[in-house]
A = this chain, B = another copy of it.
Amino acid sequence: MASLIECVPNFSEGRRPEVVEEIVRTVRSIDGVTLLDYSRDETHNRSVVTFAGAAEPVVRAASAAVGRALELIDMEQHSGAHPRIGAVDVIPFVPLGTTRIEECIDLARRFGEQIATRFELPVYLYGAAALRPERQRLAAVRKGQYEGLKEQLGVDPSRDPDFGPKRLHPRGGAVAVGARKPLIAFNVNLATDDLVIAQRIAETIRESSGGLPAVQAMGVLLENPGEPRYAQVSMNLVDWERTGITRVVNEIRHLARASGTDIDHCELIGLAPAGALLDVAADALGLRGFTPDQALELRLARDR
């Protein structure tokens, strides 16, 4: 029974494709790891690599990628729109399949300690893996960014890393290592082009305005040539086991109808955990006694 874990490291390099390709090659070279995606952003000068596998190969790939990034990226030369504290800015571990978040918390802590020693790199634990409650939010760890942390580290004890030296790595800065649940990017397109309705619905349902827990939402206007214009509620569901797709869609349908419109259709952006979609199926059918590992492929992923 091998746990399935996803790792999504963010690197502070988005302008030199050859550097990003080299890091991706390093990940790919590890047996037992599947590369799921990578993308590079010039404005943010940042790249995101997504891979998955059992705990051991995933840790090996993440560690190898950190080593390569520390050789290839120099934070003294780095600028970009996105906040960051190091050459490898953040490394979240995410449970897939029937893996529990607790395994990723353990893994993040062990991995953090390991790379702190191996690379003499200050490591901050964040998210569900945080040891200090104030570090659960990544924004708190990143406060002041690389430049601010350089001045405060070793001076302000509240900025002490959880593992590693009380000084930045000379080129690589510091890194945030954590655990979080998988994120679902999900959009609901309304049968209207009235942006105000989408914005009002987004504000009603998002957690930050007192709406549904673990839901981030904004209203946008979709304008694709040759297609009708849709007012869209664009969302991140950051904990689908707390607030699932069905609940969000039912709530939006209710609010849309109260505004004299309805849902036209939905879109799932990129990948989502099978469990979140199987829950939608179970809700739609009123399935009694259903468990996600009744899906053959999930049972296999669990047992092999």
A interface, CB within 8 angstroms of B: 4, 6, 34-36, 52-53, 96-97, 182, 189, 245-246, 249, 263-268, 270-274, 277-278, 280-290, 294-301, 303-304
Are B266 and A96 in contact, CB atoms less than 8 angstroms apart?
no
Are B281 and A96 in contact, CB atoms less than 8 angstroms apart?
no
10 nearest CB pairs, A to B: A284-B284, A280-B281, A274-B295, A277-B281, A281-B281, A265-B286, A266-B285, A34-B304, A274-B297, A265-B288
Q: Is the interface of A mostly helix, strand, loop or mixed?
A: mixed
A291 to chain B, nearest CB (A): 10
Apart from A96-B296, A271-B296, A280-B285, what are 8 other A-B pairs with CB-CB below 8 Å? A34-B303, A52-B296, A182-B296, A189-B288, A265-B286, A273-B296, A277-B295, A280-B280
Chain B's closest residue to A263 (CB) is: B286
Q: List 26 A-B contacts (CB under 8 A).
A: A4-B297, A34-B303, A36-B296, A36-B299, A36-B303, A96-B297, A96-B300, A265-B288, A266-B285, A266-B288, A267-B287, A268-B290, A271-B294, A272-B294, A272-B295, A273-B297, A274-B274, A274-B295, A274-B298, A277-B278, A277-B281, A280-B281, A280-B285, A281-B284, A297-B297, A297-B298
**Distance of A246 Cα from B289 Cα, bound (Å):** 18
State the number of copies, please.
2
Are B267 and A289 in contact, CB atoms less than 8 angstroms apart?
yes
Are B287 and A268 in contact, CB atoms less than 8 angstroms apart?
yes
Chain B's closest residue to A189 (CB) is: B288
A141 to chain B, nearest CB (A): 26
Inside 8 A of A267's CB, which chain B residues have their CB? 287-289
Inside 8 A of A286's CB, which chain B residues have their CB? 263-266
Inside 8 A of A289's CB, which chain B residues have their CB? 267
Among B52, B278, B304, the residue within 8 A (CB) of A274 is B278
Inside 8 A of A297's CB, which chain B residues have their CB? 4, 96-97, 273-274, 297-298, 301
Chain B's closest residue to A186 (CB) is: B285
**Distance of A289 Cα from B295 Cα, bound (Å):** 22
**Distance of A281 Cα from B304 Cα, bound (Å):** 26
